[in-house]
Structures are given as structure tokens and as C-alpha cells.
Structure 1
Amino acid sequence: MSLLPVDPAGGLTAVEDKTCTPEHCFHAFDALYCALTGSTPIPPSFPDEKFPLFITWNIKSSRPGRAPKLRGCIGNFEPMPIREGIAEYALISAFKDSRFRKIEAKELPLLECGISLLTDFEKASSYLDWTVGVHGIHISFPNPSIYPSTDSSAPSPLSSSAFLPRFFSRHTLSATYLPDVMVEQGWDKIEAIDSAIRKADWNGTITEETRRSIHLRRYQSRKRVVEWDEFVQWRRGNGDEDI
């Protein structure tokens, strides 16, 4: 399973979409709560379907009016049974996101949990073949440092990736952004792509040739977010009066 740190989780949040529910978030919260307190987990009741998924932990600011800050976010692009997957990645994102220290028990009342179940994966025809506000993007591209430059400065949506040698695959760089990130940052497609290239650890010049070398998979996500107080009510409703 690949561990993929990302920025704040995003996706479609249509009310009528029942793919992702608060119950999924409660299960993630429960896994973290029990790991930190030694409490007995409450068995999940939702169907054990298979999805790629991301778990996001945000922490509320102590200052009124401030937006919550990212506290950890890691996921997996391989479909997995979500009962086990949510519990597993709830802890991975809480304790093993290298950008942050481990979440501690004293932080629980300030946390909110977001679940993104990823759907509708499609191979894009070019690095521009996706829609801001609808799609997340997963890019992979050959490390530009191993290629002689043949750059053309003329912008083009056409990908040259079909002509890249397979034996360079071990030098591939990759990154992902979930759907809401582009909206939250106010990025257009080029800005999002260039940011993803930087996120993939390429620090050199970003050229049109670099962009055209990208293999891009677009996807959507179904998302829910719950706060600690909601989780407490849920756990009490399931028989835990001591929380």
C-alpha cells in the first residue's frame, strides 16, 4: 500500500450522494480515540465496500474565526475494504504523516475528521484534460534531469508521454491533489499542474515540455467531515457513557 501525503482532503459533497457518510468518519475517529485511550472500538455497521480512500485530520484554531489547519492526511489509490482501510489510515494519517508530529490525546476535542472515498478514475488525454472543482489529479512524469531538453515554448494540451521510454519508469516523479485543493487555493489548471510538479520534488525550471510529459489520471471523490462533538454523541449513542 502506498502512503501518499496530500494537502486538505476534498471532493464532491452533494447531499444526495450517500457513498460517503458520517458513519465512515465516526469509524475513523473511533480508531484514533481507542488507540490513544485504550477504549474498546465500536464495530462499524456500514457495508464493507472497496474504495481508494484518504483520511484527513484538521485541528481547530484556538482563535475565533480562524479556519482549521491540516494536522495529517494520507491515503491510498488502491481499492481496499473500507472498514479495515478507514481504521488503518486513520492511524497512519494521525501518526505517520512526516509533515507533522503525532496527534496526541489532548488534541482530540479540537479535531475534525474528513473521509474522501475516491471514484471515477479516468486516464486524461493531456495535462489539461480535467475540470477544476470536479476532478482531483494524480500526475506522474519522468524526472526532467535525466533527459536532454528539446523544449518547444509553444503551449500545447497534447501529451508527449506516449513517446517516453519505459526503461525510465524507475525515475518517475509523482504527486496528487484532491478536488477541493484547487478551489481552495484559487488555482487554474496550469497553476495546479505546476504546483503538483513542485510537490513531486522537481525544483528545476518547469517548461511546456515538462508539462507535456505528464501522465495524468483524473478522479472524483465523495467526502464527509465530522467534528469531535459529533463523534462523542455517536459513541454515547452506542453505549459509551464515559467518554
Structure 2
Amino acid sequence: MALVPPPPHVHDSLDEESSVCTLDHCFYAFDALYCALTHSEPLPAKLPNEKYPLFVTWNTRRSGRAPRLRGCIGNFEAQPLHEGLAEYALISAFRDHRFNPIEKRELSSLEAGISLLTDFEDADSYLDWTVGVHGIYISFPHPSTLPSTPSSDAPSPLSSVASLLTSRVSSKHSFTATYLPEIAPEQGWDKIDAIDSAIRKAGWNGRITEDLRRSVKVRRYQSRKCSATWDQYVAWRRENGAEI
């Protein structure tokens, strides 16, 4: 996933209804991918060109089994939806280095998922968020820069951020990672499991201590999600007068 530090605040007026993210957002992403693979003409966007941080996810649907991740990349910088959805539909399809680029023959098995990110807040500690409600964007300095204090392995809601202000932390030694709100419940993680996994995802391979967890700054956020299948997209494109 592409990571850009979250903005201080985005989208003041948030609609809590599902209309924030709709099937049209998924169809627009699907259209970008289909047209890129077939050299077809995309349909004009009919959705509002609001700005949101966003992620585009491609899954492969399998009969009798849960969908399998095929690509997921996004950006924490608010994007105009007309440009951002089309751009990240292709980036997540072709440039997620965990997977080979999506090919035309796979289209009929795909499911498009859109996450529009909202409600960014600075957490008071690494435990100040709710599993299943919040996504987490974590950042932390290299553990070698942490102040020397007696180590504790007991989880604590207290943050050591204040003590970090006196330490010399080089920006080149910082780590960042994110998990969307659905990841922790899908994996069966509690908060500590999710934080520890995010620390690993950020690139830290050493010991994870309670002092390290307390050094983690968490920016929590929520998302409005929608998904659509290939068959739904085909019906939508035909209803709008385009061949497929």
C-alpha cells in the first residue's frame, strides 16, 4: 500500500450513510481497468468529484470460498475522485509488487472494492482506537533512538510521546504502516496483535517491547466501503449504452 502521511484534517462534513461510497465508485474503477486492458473508451464519470483519501482493492472471487486479495494500493492524501479512483484502480491492478499485474483473462473473476477514508484523529496512545471501527496509521522512530528507561512488558494506555521530544530522532529512521478498518477483525486480532503486526509491516524485525509500543504514534481513521462484481459492472456498462 502506498503511504503518504495523513493530512491534519479531511472532509469536515461527513455523511454517515452508505451513500458516501456507492456502487458507482466501484464501477468507475472497474471501467478504468477494463478500458486499460481492452483499449476501449471509458464512460464519463457521473459521480461527484469530491476529494477523499482512498484505497482501491481488487479481489479474486472463488466459488465456495472467500475472495482472495489480488491487489490493494491507496493514498492518504485526499484525491479528486474522478482522477484518484481511475489512477489507483490501475496502480493497485498493475503495480502492487506482491502480485503479478492483472491480465485481461482475469476480469470475469474480479471484485472491486473502494474505501473512502474519513474521520482522521490523533489517538492518545497506541490503544486509543476500536477494532472493527478504526483503521490505524502508525509511525514510530527507530528503537535505538528511544530514551533509556526501565523496560516494561505490561500493556499500557500511557504514551511515551512526551519523553520522545527530548530524544534525537532522525527522520530517516522512522517507520510507518497502515491497516484498513476491516483488517483486524478479519484476522481475529486484538489491538496489541494489530499494532505488533503493523510494526512488523513497517519493517521492524527486532524485539517488540512495551516501550516500543508506547513510542508508536497512531492516527486513527474510518472508511466508507463498497464493492462490486464483474457481472454487476458489465450490466452497468451496458445500461449506459457501451458495449463490452
**TM > 0.5:** yes
Look up the match of 2:7.
Answer: none
Look up the match of 2:104.
Answer: 105
Query: What secondary structure does 1:60 align onto?
Result: strand
Look up the match of 2:94.
Answer: 95
Is the 2:145–2:168 Cα contact (8 Å) retained in structure 1?
A: no
Aligned pairs for 1:30-179 (under 5 A) are: 30-61=31-62, 64-147=63-146, 150=149, 151-164=151-164, 165=167, 167-179=169-181
User: How far did 1:158 drift?
Assistant: 1.1
Alpha-carbon displacement from aligned partner over 1:15-39 (angstroms, at most 9, x marks no partner): 9421001000000000000000000
User: How far did 1:143 drift?
Assistant: 1.7
Look up the match of 1:210.
Answer: 212
Query: What secondary structure does 1:191 align onto?
Result: helix
User: How far did 1:212 drift?
Assistant: 0.2
83 and 18 in structure 1: CA distance in 2 versus 1, 3 angstrom threshold: same
102 and 149 in structure 1: CA distance in 2 versus 1, 3 angstrom threshold: farther
166 and 237 in structure 1: CA distance in 2 versus 1, 3 angstrom threshold: farther
User: How far did 1:240 drift?
Assistant: 1.5
Structure 1 residues not aligned, in runs of 5+: 6-13
Look up the match of 1:197.
Answer: 199
Does residue 180 of structure 1 match 2:179? no
Distance 2:86 2:53 in 1: 13
Structure 2 residues not aligned, in runs of 5+: 5-14
Look up the match of 2:8.
Answer: none
User: How far did 1:161 drift?
Assistant: 2.0
Query: What secondary structure does 1:18 align onto?
Result: helix
Look up the match of 1:225.
Answer: 227
Deviates more, 1:32-41 or 1:155-164: 155-164
One-letter amino acid of the counterpart of residue 186, structure 1: G
Distance 1:130 1:87 in 2: 31
User: How far did 1:167 drift?
Assistant: 4.0
Distance 2:162 2:91 in 1: 35
| Identical-residue share of aligned pairs (%) | 67
Query: What secondary structure does 1:128 align onto?
Result: coil
146 and 166 in structure 1: CA distance in 2 versus 1, 3 angstrom threshold: closer
Please, what is the CA RMSD of the aligned residues?
A: 1.9
